[in-house]
Amino acid sequence: MSDSRKLISRLLDDVAPFIVRRQETVGLPTAIPRLTVWTSTCATLPTPALFEPMFYAVLRGTKVLIMGANRFELPAGACAASSFGLPYTHQLTGATRDLPYVGISLHLDIGMLTRVMLDMPKRGDRWTCAVAADDLNGPVGETFARLVGLLNAPDDIDMLAPHYEAELYYRLLQGPMGNTLRQIGQRNERFQQLKTAADWLAANHSEPVVIPDLAASAGMSVTSFHRHFKAVTGYSPLAFQRHMRLLEARKLLAAGAANVSRVAYEVGYLSPSQFSREYKSMFGNAPIADLQR
């Protein structure tokens, strides 16, 4: 058995108590802070969600991530990381009841990651996408396995988990995904301006956007702003905001909002019919169907 397969087998053994055999995707939190085990016994349709700053590893099955123009296919033994929250669509394939899909997510401790980065030799800032993928092997895989292995030694979690997590960040920053994670704490002014623009779009999804003003706030021309924003996030600014609007609308409908038209206006749409069309295109169901369900 190869080293990679041994590592995956070891991780599957460690998370075996968390593998739930249900058709829907289930995420179970663990005793390790911010570590969640995800399982499903069947393939899923493309599902929109928000990829927050995290490290994610696939142990069985395949997870497909689509972020605008960027597509990542993660088979068993692959992993991905994100430097800031991005709307995305994910889909699971290759899952069965006998061999359910299994993945593990670790939401990043931004403070810890920044401290580790500051203790490392400084590297030049590089432009890169806010999401990166790689194989789960070598020092990254071994360190991650030690962290997950603490599930079998719960009395050691408080003492050892912070040390293993800090080492994991160190290994990630050294590897191919390092440039993406380094964006979290780097001083690159242009990247920070783009992140500020993305954060504004996410926080003000219901507000009208004047692209020239947003570009000016980032210190760029409209053409340069469009090009760099899409290079980092995978989306045009308006597509990014549209995804954030529709994700918020789905939350409101799930919470039992009064009616579809009110939700449309609340998230920033001027036309409920346009809202319904774009909602169905993104989620596969009309908003009224989700509200009733």
Q: Dump pLDDT digits (tens) for 50-106.
A: 888 899 999 999 999 988 888 899 999 999 998 877 888 889 998 888 899 999 999
- Which whole number is the average pLDDT over 201-226? 87
Looking at residue 255, its pLDDT comes to 79
Q: Domain-by-domain residue ranges, the chain?
A: 3-182, 189-292
Inter-helix orientation angle 110-119/157-174, to 10° = 60
pLDDT digits (tens, 9 = 90+) for 267-292: 899 898 999 999 888 888 888 887 77
As a whole-number percent, the residues of the chain with pLDDT over 90 amount to 41
Looking at residue 201, its pLDDT comes to 87
Looking at residue 124, its pLDDT comes to 61
Q: Which residues contact 186 (CB under 8 A, 6 or more apart)?
A: 125
The per-residue DSSP string of 14-83 comes to HHGGG----SS-EEEE-SSTTEEEEEESS----EEEEE-SEEEEEEESEEEEEETTEEEEE-TTEEEEES
**Cα(68)–Cα(40) distance, integer angstroms:** 25
> What token pair was written down for 257?
């909002």
Neighbours of 156 (CB within 10 A): 12
pLDDT digits (tens, 9 = 90+) for 116-138: 988 887 766 566 778 899 999 99
Confidence of residue 189 (pLDDT cuts 50, 70, 90): low
Looking at residue 142, its pLDDT comes to 96
Higher-scoring residue by pLDDT: 249, 187: 249
Mean pLDDT of the chain, nearest integer: 88
Higher-scoring residue by pLDDT: 223, 121: 223
Q: DSSP assignment, residue 2?
A: -
**Cα(162)–Cα(149) distance, integer angstroms:** 13
Residue 1 has pLDDT above 70, yes or no: no
Q: Which residues contact 195 (CB under 8 A, 6 or more apart)?
A: 84, 183, 232
> What token pair was written down for 51?
């990829």
> Side chain identity at 246, as an amino acid letter?
L
Is the distance from CB of 81 to CB of 27 less than 8 angstroms? no
Confidence of residue 253 (pLDDT cuts 50, 70, 90): confident
**Cα(62)–Cα(113) distance, integer angstroms:** 27
Residue 188 has pLDDT above 60, yes or no: no
- Which whole number is the average pLDDT over 171-180? 91
Higher-scoring residue by pLDDT: 3, 145: 145
Topology of domain 3-182, CATH? Jelly Rolls (2.60.120)
User: 46-60, 181-195, 253-267: which has the minimum mean pLDDT?
Assistant: 181-195
Give CATH for domain 189-292. 1.10.10.60
> Side chain identity at 131, as an amino acid letter?
V
